[in-house]
């Protein structure tokens, strides 16, 4: 097995006294894991940082063996980890992706969207500039893994107008008329998810609540509590930032 490709670092786990097991996302070969010799050294820690873009080379004698991995840094986002909010966003987006994607299967739309979200977090002067992109990324992950939401027509009436809610059970949109009397049992559908355009913070938090419900139910059930905790930290920091 020999693979050479650009990749986004998703997770780094200590292995042995000095090494690290790294999981990274490539465009054509999907999620790939590899062992980096000396990955915990002072020189390698800034390179093996979540959200960094690297050129990776994986080598293994058999398909069953964990490949050895060497990396060359292409673009570093490590300086952004000095800021609490961007750091929390990087950690959540990469941890989520690493925890739910199967290894070795290409997801080019996910790769492109993740690079876009990470770039937005890095470039935007304020969180509002990238929070919308993060919600859309979470929706894309749900869709790519077979749990997409149907936000085009009302589950109760079939109408495509005034879609203001989503059923937490079916993941289908519900119109204002169809929701009459049941609003408290439904999730709010933020307008930017169906109509586009700018979003207020109340809409962004409603979007995060919507995607969070289905992520935890359909993709993160039984996963490491640390992954869900990363999202909680991000949402808490967002709320404090806009309070």
Within-domain flag for 16: yes
Within-domain flag for 161: no
Are residues 120 and 232 part of one domain? yes
Number of domains in the chain: 2
pLDDT at 197: 82
Within-domain flag for 52: yes
Are residues 84 and 72 part of one domain? no
pLDDT at 144: 98
User: Tens-of-pLDDT digits for all 243 residues of the chain?
Assistant: 899 999 999 999 998 888 999 999 999 999 999 999 998 898 999 999 999 999 999 999 887 789 999 999 999 999 999 999 999 999 999 999 999 999 999 999 999 999 999 999 999 888 988 999 999 999 999 999 999 999 999 998 999 999 999 999 999 999 999 999 999 999 999 999 998 888 999 999 999 999 999 999 999 987 777 888 999 999 999 999 887
- Domain boundary residue, one of 29, 46, 76: 76
- Domain boundary residue, one of 45, 60, 76: 76
Q: Residue-wise over 206-220: b if at least 16 C-beta within 10 A, else e?
A: bbbebbbebbeeebb
Within-domain flag for 124: yes
pLDDT at 243: 78
Within-domain flag for 132: yes
Within-domain flag for 177: no
- Domain boundary residue, one of 24, 49, 76: 76
Contact between 145 and 168 (Cβ < 8 Å): no
Within-domain flag for 20: yes
Are residues 85 and 102 part of one domain? yes
Are residues 61 and 1 part of one domain? yes
Token couple for 228: 């869900």
Are residues 7 and 43 part of one domain? yes
Are residues 230 and 142 part of one domain? yes
- From the list 99, 92, 137, the residue with the least C-alpha distance to 115 is 137
Are residues 110 and 48 part of one domain? no
Are residues 195 and 119 part of one domain? yes
Which residues constitute the domain of residue 142? 80-151+189-243
Are residues 71 and 89 part of one domain? no
Are residues 103 and 41 part of one domain? no
Query: Which residue has tokens 């993740």?
Result: 114
Within-domain flag for 172: no
């Amino acid at each position: 097995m020999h693979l050479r490709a650009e990749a986004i670092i998703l997770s780094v786990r200590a292995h042995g006294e000095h090494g690290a097991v790294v999981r990274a996302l490539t465009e054509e070969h999907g999620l790939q894991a590899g062992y980096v010799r000396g990955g915990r050294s002072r020189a390698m820690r800034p390179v093996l940082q979540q959200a960094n873009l690297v050129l990776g080379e994986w080598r293994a004698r058999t398909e069953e063996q964990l490949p050895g991995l060497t990396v060359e840094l292409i673009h570093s986002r490590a300086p952004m980890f000095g800021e609490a909010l961007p750091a929390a966003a990087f950690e959540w987006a990469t941890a989520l992706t690493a925890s739910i994607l199967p290894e070795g299967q290409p997801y080019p739309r996910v790769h492109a969207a993740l690079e876009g979200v990470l770039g937005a977090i890095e470039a935007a002067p304020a969180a509002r500039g990238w929070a919308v992109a993060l919600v859309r990324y979470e929706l894309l992950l749900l869709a790519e893994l077979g749990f997409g939401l149907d936000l085009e027509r009302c589950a109760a009436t079939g109408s495509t107008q005034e879609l203001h809610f989503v059923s937490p059970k079916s993941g289908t949109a519900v119109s204002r008329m169809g929701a009459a009397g049941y609003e408290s049992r439904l999730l709010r559908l933020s307008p930017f998810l169906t109509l586009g355009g700018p979003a207020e913070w109340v809409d962004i938090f409603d979007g995060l609540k919507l995607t969070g419900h289905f992520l935890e139910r359909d993709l993160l059930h039984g996963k490491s509590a640390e992954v869900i905790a990363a999202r909680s930290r991000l949402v808490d920091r967002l709320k404090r930032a806009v309070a």
